[in-house]
Amino acid sequence: MAYTIVDLKTWARAEQFRFFRTYEKPHYAVTSRLDVSHILSRKAAGVSTYRACLYAIGAGIHAVPELCMRFRSDQVVLHDGVELSMTVPTKAGSFNYAYVPFDPDFAMFDARATDMIAQAAESGGLAANSGARDDVAYLSCLPWLDYTAINNALPGRDDCIPRVSWGKFTDHEDMAMTLEVHHALVDGAQVGAYFNAVQAALDSI
C-alpha cells in the first residue's frame, strides 16, 4: 500500500510524538459499548454479524488518519489504507491469521472477506506478520465474553500497530469493543472519533 511521509516540522503532534516515544509503557486501551441492534436485524437478510463488525472496524480505522500512521524509528508515515488482520479459527482447534483489504463498499468487502477467511481457515501456516510490514491493524473477536477491559500481547514499546478486540453480543443488543493504540500517534480525541465512526458504520449496513 502507498504511504506519505509526515513532515515533523509542520505536524501538530510532533512534540507529543517525541514525548510519548520516551515512555516504557506507551500503549493504552479504551473499551466502549456499541449498539449492534441494526446488524442483528439484518441477519434475516443474510448479513454476517461477524463480517459486519470487521467492516465497521475497518471503516472506523480509515476514518481516523492517525490510526493509519506508523513510525519507523524517528520517521512517521501515513498509509493510504491498511489491511485488517484477524484471527481465524482452524478445524484443528488453533488459529491462523487472515489479511483482508478494506473496501468502503460493504458488499465488496463482505465477498472478499468471506473468501480470504475461508482460505485462512484451511491454511496450514500461521501467516503471522514477521514485522516486515506495518500497513495492518490487528483484530480479535472474543465471542465467549462480555468483558469490561482487555489488553494485548505486544512485542515491544515501539510496536505502533493498533489492536481491536470485541466481545459477545448481549441481551441488550450491544457489545464491548476495545481499541489499543500507541500514545505517540493517537490521543483520546482520535479514539473517540474511531468509536463514533464504527457505530455509524454498524448502523449503515
Tell me: the pLDDT tens digits for 34-90? 999 999 999 999 999 999 999 999 999 999 999 999 999 999 999 999 999 999 988
Q: In what order do the strands lie in the sheet with 174-182?
A: 27-35, 174-182, 163-167, 136-142, 83-89, 95-101
Measured at the CA of 102, the angle between CA 159 and CA 27, to 5 degrees, comes to: 20
Q: Which of 28, 98, 104, 9 is closest to 62 using CA atoms? A: 104
Residue 193, pLDDT score? 98
Query: Between residues 119 and 106, which one has the greater pLDDT?
Result: 106
Cell triple for residue 67? 490510526
By the 10 Å C-beta count (0-12 exposed, 13-18 middle, 19+ buried), 121 is classed as: middle
The residues, ordered by sequence, that sit 6+ positions from 144 with a Cβ below 8 Å of its Cβ are 168
- For the chain, the residue count is 205
Q: Report domain extents, the chain.
A: 3-202
Average pLDDT over every residue of 91-118: 94
The pLDDT, as a whole number, for residue 16 is: 97
pLDDT mean over 112-116: 96
Confidence of residue 131 (pLDDT cuts 50, 70, 90): confident
Averaged over 15-25, what is the pLDDT? 97
What integer is the mean pLDDT of 92-108? 93
Q: 93: pLDDT confidence band, cut at 50, 70 and 90? A: confident
pLDDT confidence of residue 125: 76
Q: Mean pLDDT throughout 164-174?
A: 98
Sequence-ordered alpha helix ranges (H) in the chain: 14-20, 37-41, 49-62, 106-122, 188-202
Give domain 3-202's CATH number out of 2.60.40.420, 3.40.50.300, 3.30.559.10, 3.20.20.140. 3.30.559.10
Cα 166 to Cα 175: distance, rounded to the nearest angstrom: 7
Task: Judge whether residue 111 has pLDDT over 80.
Answer: yes
Nearest-CA neighbor of 27 among 178, 126, 154, 195? 154
Query: Any idea which of 70-84, 115-129, 185-199 has the lowest mean pLDDT?
Result: 115-129
| Band (11; pLDDT cuts 50, 70, 90) | very high
Judged against a pLDDT cut of 80, whether residue 1 lies above it is answered with: no
For the ranges 7-16, 120-129, 166-175, 196-205, which has the lowest average pLDDT?
A: 120-129
pLDDT > 70 in the chain, percent: 100
Q: What are phi and psi of 120, to 5 degrees?
A: -65, -35
Nearest-5° angle of CA 38, CA 146, CA 41? 15
Q: Which region, left, alpha or beta, applies to residue 73 given φ > 0 means left and ψ of -120 to 50 means alpha? A: left
* pLDDT of 132 above 90: no
Q: CA nearest 188: which of 15, 29, 77, 59? A: 29
